[in-house]
Structure 1
């Protein structure tokens, strides 16, 4: 990385080509793969504190209006200088190196121009596979919805797997859709996420990043919508026959609720005194070597749910 700040603000040919590629994306989303391939191999610019005695390289972050922290980076020195202050110095770095070195962080390209946000999951996929999902926002339309009967099995699995360890999505459902006024139109699929709305876009991009590479042979439209997890669920998501493809466990947020989790939650609730007594008895059993294998415990718990 070169931290020297050049005095000239003229665009280099490489910067002109990179920004021209970015502009093409604004009018033609089909140009996005080519732009991000170019971005990985191009020189980009980031801000670091001008004075930093931490002993390691740190980058400046800013608070995005949606409430998350992001690392700004820029397609040209001129854009980086325009957004800079006396408190920062400008670093030149290859795009791939910047994304690799900040893996796990959220980045925003050209924030002063309303540029693209890259969430951690997207960065990881872009680095590992070169793929970045296309997510197009469209005005909401009124649709007939019903529990999905013909959704491919892999779709639910892919959604569940990508939400493992995610603490800002509490549930995911798959519905079938059809327009109200065009009965002859083929049905589509609608993924419904129940999530923290402050991270709603990230949740949507996370799921689309996981499923888009698998959709090449799928002959239907997949839409996605998000519901606020702090509000009651809409009526079509509380139908008894509708089972979520993912549900975050209350006992262990950020993971799906496996059958064993559901069974354990059915055990009778104990008073604090009873919990304390059983804890002390359990510790005494461990000290004495009186333990039960985990699988044997699960068989006992499963047996509790069987009719007598």
Structure 2
């Protein structure tokens, strides 16, 4: 039997709500916890809730200058302060100083990042890659113990890409992505589910810290392979919309020849890839500014080794 992987117990955990200022479940959950942190308390570690992007939250917009959740690259975090830089760049440095620095020994042990999507993703667990051992074990624990919904795992990092999300300033992290929920709206059912997911994840950390051995397992996850852009006119206006047959089909198979777009005059565009893919973030409202219609993923099975604390 292979030796168990050992990691140090976790002592400091952070939770960001409002990394995007119009995704309301996390914003209201963190505001609730800032008023009353009782349900975050566990005996073996501390949990610090914070609001990721206060200026965007105030205006109820995704961001005020640029996407905060793409602002944690080494280049941006190490760049000199500039007068005309977007607010999110200086905010990223501030978060990095408080909860990181990214890649350092003094960084927080774990960070949760709470999101909503307008896409039909259900309750989705987002990890940078399958090599992140602790988050993958946490996902497996959530899938086993949180029985409200299916909880697919989405691996967001492309090969050779640097981690750029807010939770990358901590030693490990997990984003919760719940939808569909319109921007600027809080839905009680998704709020309740996010709260239950967080309780489940914190219970996992408590068990890990107590010395429980988590055995090896195989797990299914959706790994990003690229992004599908909207067709555009020469002036860069989009020239088509997501096809009705693709709409709301997140994490379902899309095969070569299946329709993906419909032009505004009613013509179909078919998927021309060579293999079946599993789209995610289909017709996500926030991705129109990026001209992204959906993320392309492949469904993979990963073998995750056993884990216990040192």
Kindly name which structure, 1 or 2, has the bigger radius of gyration based on alpha carbons.
1
Bigger share in strand? 2
TM-score, normalisation: structure 2: 0.25
More RCO (CA 8 Å, sep 6+)? 2
Q: Which has the higher helix share?
A: 1
